[in-house]
Amino acid sequence: MSKRFHIRTFGCQMNVHDSEKIAGILSESGYMETDNIRDADVIVINTCNIRQKAEQKFYSDLGRLKRMKQHRPDLRIAVAGCIAQQKGEELFKRFPYVDYIFGPDNIDKLREWIDTRAQAIALEENPEYHLNELPVKRVGQVKAWVSIMYGCDNFCAYCVVPYTRGRERSRPGRDIYREVKGLAEKGYREVTLLGQNVNSYGKNLNENLDFPDLLKVLHEIEGIERIRFVTSHPKDLSDKLIEYMRDLPKVCEHIHLPIQAGSDRVLRLMNRGYTYGHYKEKVDKLRKAIPGIAITTDVIVGFPGETEEDFRCTVKALKEIGFDGIFAFKYSERPGTKAVELPDHVDEETKSQRLTEILALQEEITYRKNKGLEGEVVEVLVEGRSETDPEKMTGRTRTNKIVNFYGDEEDTGRLVDIKIIEAKQHSLYGEKV
Ligand code: SAH
Ligand code: SF4
Ligand code: F3S
């Protein structure tokens, strides 16, 4: 019987996609994937270090594996991702039953280690990593993630990513083109281009190819019906990109544009490189050029020094802009980042109050927006049966909203027109027309 692996993934889309690469490598090495952690001969935890909560979750997960390893000394435990990169050797000391540790730039090492090495670690810089083609075992068959760049150079004062993912590097356009073409040939209909800051794509390339150019090149690929991308940094969102989004029909009418805060003082302390005025201007341009565009965002409350007045600016921004959806977080102190040294840290209770207020406000706004779609006919790319409501099929609108409807299994992978009947808080219910 072939050996089995199980992967547990925390964190952002890059990590989700990295796990697909880890699964690709293990499958190529003859392992089979299992959903049941107890059946696994290899367990990989792909970690996230973005907030303290994510870190704690990982430690409690890892703690539970100790017993399993005692019962089955052959079990291999690997720690990957952003905590692996930041903590390194320390993890071996605290958790001696861990076998392998590797960071996001060293996923390929697993291939050499898996059947030969007892214990190994790889955290070194890997400047060639973005040129590698790793096997990928993808989760779905309709839409796929594609990395277009790695790392981040922005050093926002609160953020660990530049320390865990290294310097920004863009993949050559021809490699991305080849991958997307291959996906189209396999029947994928949608791609999401991934990078911490996709708008600055191409900076280190000799190809004279920027992000809008890349969209245009990929747009030519037959079979791909929809193109998405995350994440966009407001400071690098160019007029050219807005024009190309408007003119390229496959590029979906949705942008995730993290605002983080509404106060200029806080934005400066965060080192974000824009003011609320700049941000609002970009939103206005996007909405003018691309009617119906959905705009989603990330917000941090309780950044060091955030006063009540600053927080009110964030509330005002959310009301003024009316986002389609937000991810809101309490500021979480990350060792090694600049924000740790800032004065006037906000107490936990205030942070919680601010978060609750923002979430309540946004629930209303999102619901109102969804409500506005009732009666409209929208194009849905069908992904398959709904996991939460297995009687229905599920898919997303071009604006990235979830739509559930009664349909057939055969609709999977198809674009279907759906009339929205009822808006719910987190999804839409519709009927085929
Ligand atoms: N590269 C993307 C997102 C990276 S992390 C960007 O530039 O927006 C995703 C989100 O996590 C961030 O947008 C931010 O809102 C949040 N985040 C990052 N560090 C955080 C911290 N220390 N505390 C709370 N939230 C944080
Ligand atoms: Fe973090 Fe800022 Fe880079 Fe996003 S742009 S990954 S928030 S440093
Ligand atoms: Fe987390 Fe690393 Fe992504 S810290 S959010 S997994 S880049």
Domain boundaries, the chain: 4-122, 140-252, 256-371, 377-432
Residue located nearest, by CA, to atom 13 of ligand 1? 298
Annotation: CATH topology of 377-432: OB fold (Dihydrolipoamide Acetyltransferase, E2P) (2.40.50)
8 A C-beta contact, residue 419 and residue 379? no
Q: What is the DSSP string of 146-203?
A: EE-EE------TT--HHHHS-S-EEPPHHHHHHHHHHHHHTT--EEEEE-TTGGGTTT
Pocket test of ligand 1: the residue of 300, 338, 340, 346 to mutate, having most ligand atoms within 8 Å of its CB, is 300
Check pLDDT > 90 for residue 231. Answer: yes
Q: Does domain 4-122 have CATH number 3.30.70.120?
A: no
Mean pLDDT across 60-83: 94
Give pLDDT tens digits for 178-215: 999 999 999 999 999 999 999 999 998 888 999 999 99
pLDDT for residue 190: 98
Rounded CA-CA distance 266/183 in Å is 42
Give pLDDT tens digits for 290-328: 999 999 999 999 999 999 999 999 999 999 999 999 999
Rounded CA-CA distance 350/344 in Å is 13
Domain 256-371: which CATH class?
Answer: alpha beta
Closest Cα partner for 298 from 330, 265, 342? 330
Is the pTM higher than 0.85? The answer reads yes
- What separation in Å is there between the alpha carbon of 284 and the centre of ligand 2? 23
Pocket test of ligand 2: the residue of 159, 237, 331 to mutate, having most ligand atoms within 8 Å of its CB, is 159
Mean pLDDT across 412-428: 95
Report residue 153's pLDDT band, with 50, 70 and 90 as the boundaries. very high
Do domains 140-252 and 256-371 share one topology? The answer is yes
Secondary structure letter of residue 37 according to DSSP: G
Report residue 10's pLDDT band, with 50, 70 and 90 as the boundaries. very high
Mean pLDDT across 49-61: 94
Residues near ligand 3 with C-beta < 6 Å? 11-12, 14-15, 48-50, 81-82, 160-161, 164-165
Closest Cα partner for 14 from 148, 189, 172, 110? 148
CATH of domain 140-252: 3.30.750.210
